[in-house]
Amino acid sequence: MVRTMFLGTGHYVPEKVVTNEDLTKLMDTSDEWIQQRTGVKTRHHIDWQNEPMGASELGARAGKKALEDAKVSKDEIDCIIYATLSPDKAFPGDGVLVQAKLDIPAGVPAYDVRNQCSGFLYGLQMADAFIRTGTYKRILLIGAEAQSSGLEFADRGRDVAVIFGDGGAAAVLGPNPRDDGRGILSVKVHADGRYVSELECPFPSSAVSPRISVADLEAGRQYPVMNGKHVFKHAVTRMPEVVNEVLAEQGVKSTDLKLVIPHQANQRITEMVQRKLELTDAQLFSNIAEFGNTTAASIPLALDQAVHQGRVQAGDLVCLTAFGAGFTWGAALIRW
């Protein structure tokens, strides 16, 4: 059986670091309040005055690093899958923008995935299916977000604005040439659209005309809104549930896992998922304190760090899991 392997990973974040103390100058909050509720200490934001860029640029820079890590030429990439909720333009999608920025040959298809925090896992399931069926041989999978330009840095937007950061991360995927059991073992993704309004950015909207009005702008409807308690309740249920789903399919247990890399949504969610799965501290990877929630970039960014810190070695059993707007959620089990 052909299995899909991670051939290389990479990430890129803007140089500008925004501390909790920096945010206290913009809204009624405190470092203690933010850390207690989210676990975030710092996040990286695009320097909009000195080096403005969109999510596609973050993704392209991460993609270049992943190609270098994989020792794969841009000319070998035969498919791009790109996940974001913060594209540069209303259309076209960022996938083609990354293609142009990296000078990947014309004709290579570029897919855009809009599954928010679960976007990387949705893209991973697609990439795995493509590679196992022989449709493509080298896939560049990217998650990237320019969140800071879409947040309300004021008291009204405080609960959401303190969480998010900017960044991009990528992986190069291809078939394992050896029959040694390494590669992606299982990817499961799910959705429940009944809870859309609990976590969304409602405007601009093609369901109304004009897509956004002066009244909408004045009311702040262009900013994301979240029912934090409701999201927390579902996240701490669905993430352990889907992790157990992929474990059961492969006949393994949580004790067999070397590392679990959850979407970095909120440290309190991560801690609850850890308890429900009965994971040790050594089995869990968390970087939300440094980067905040980078949505589609979150899992690949953490994965890249874990790999290059030596916390993931060949043959290790690794699990990725996410939950986000939609609601969408998923998990992937990998024999590294």
**CA 271 → CA 20, 180, 276, distances in Å?**
21, 34, 9
Query: How high is the pLDDT of residue 325?
Result: 96
């960044």: which residue's tokens? 167
The whole-number average pLDDT for the span 76-105 is 97
Query: How high is the pLDDT of residue 131?
Result: 98
Q: Please say if the pLDDT value at position 109 is more than 90.
A: yes
Q: Could you report the per-residue pLDDT of 249-284, keeping only the tens digit for each?
A: 999 999 999 999 999 999 999 999 999 999 999 999
**Across all residues in the chain, what is the average pLDDT?**
97
Q: Could you report the per-residue pLDDT of 26-43, keeping only the tens digit for each?
A: 999 999 999 999 999 999
Which of 44, 45, 234, 263 is catalytic? The answer is 263
Residue 293 is a catalytic residue: yes
* CA atoms of 74 and 79, how far apart (whole Å): 11
Which of 117, 176, 266, 319 is catalytic? The answer is 117
Query: How high is the pLDDT of residue 1?
Result: 81
Residue 79 is a catalytic residue: no
Confidence of residue 187 (pLDDT cuts 50, 70, 90): very high
Residue 319 is a catalytic residue: no
What domains can you pick out in the chain, each with its CATH number?
A: 4-175 (3.40.47.10), 183-335 (3.40.47.10)
Spatial CB neighbours of 24, under 8 Å, sequence gap ≥ 6: 30, 31
* CA atoms of 226 and 116, how far apart (whole Å): 14
């790999």: which residue's tokens? 307
Confidence of residue 87 (pLDDT cuts 50, 70, 90): very high
Confidence of residue 137 (pLDDT cuts 50, 70, 90): very high
Q: Could you report the per-residue pLDDT of 190-246, keeping only the tens digit for each?
A: 999 999 999 999 999 999 999 999 999 999 999 999 999 999 999 999 999 999 999
Query: How high is the pLDDT of residue 205?
Result: 95
Query: How high is the pLDDT of residue 50?
Result: 97
Which of 11, 79, 293, 319 is catalytic? The answer is 293
Whether the Cβ atoms of residue 263 and residue 324 lie closer than 8 Å to each other: yes
Specify burial of residue 106 (Cβ count, 10 A radius: 0-12, 13-18, 19+). exposed
